[in-house]
Amino acid sequence: MLENLMDLVKNFAGDSIINNPDIPNEHNDAAVGTVSNSIVDTLKNAIGNGKLSDVTSLLGGQGGDLNSNPLAQDIHGNVISNLMDKFNLNHGQASGIAGNLIPSVLQNLIHKTNDPNDKSFDLQGIIGSLTGGGGGVIGGLMDKVKGLFGN
């Protein structure tokens, strides 16, 4: 899942990272990795804090407007913080990158997760990756959570 997410971030990283003079070219891959890891870590932390339904709601497309979704806002904030820490960017620079990149990545991730013809992401696989597997337990939880959304 992380590799697919990194590819997704890289696909949208053009002006935000690749063509951005604030990120030297030799650090482009590291910046893409930082953004990808920030997304994954935020989702893992949400699940660890008992917010599995928030994660499934967001990725299932029931999270509402990304600009007002608390989990999407957490992802945005963590991306900013990690870019500032790892690449010595100021808040404005990191915020510009996150503001241009995160909405597109999340919208595409949500679309791919819910597209039955796209096998690159699926909700149960993502949750399994975020929780370290869990097999039948996670599958059973996912079936219950999906039932909440009529899936």
* Residue 135: predicted pLDDT: 42
**Domain total of the chain:** 1
Q: Give the rounded distance of the alpha carbon of 94 from its chain centre.
A: 16
Any idea which residue has 């869990």 for tokens?
134
pTM for this prediction = 0.84
* Residue 148: predicted pLDDT: 47
**Domain span holding position 13:** 2-148
Give the separation between CA 141 and CA 129, rounded to whole angstroms. 14
Q: What is the pLDDT along the chain (151 residues), one digit of tens a residue?
A: 778 899 999 999 999 999 999 999 999 999 999 999 999 999 999 999 999 999 999 999 888 889 889 999 999 999 999 999 999 999 999 999 999 999 999 999 999 999 999 988 888 888 988 888 754 444 444 444 444 444 4
Give the separation between CA 151 and CA 145, rounded to whole angstroms. 9
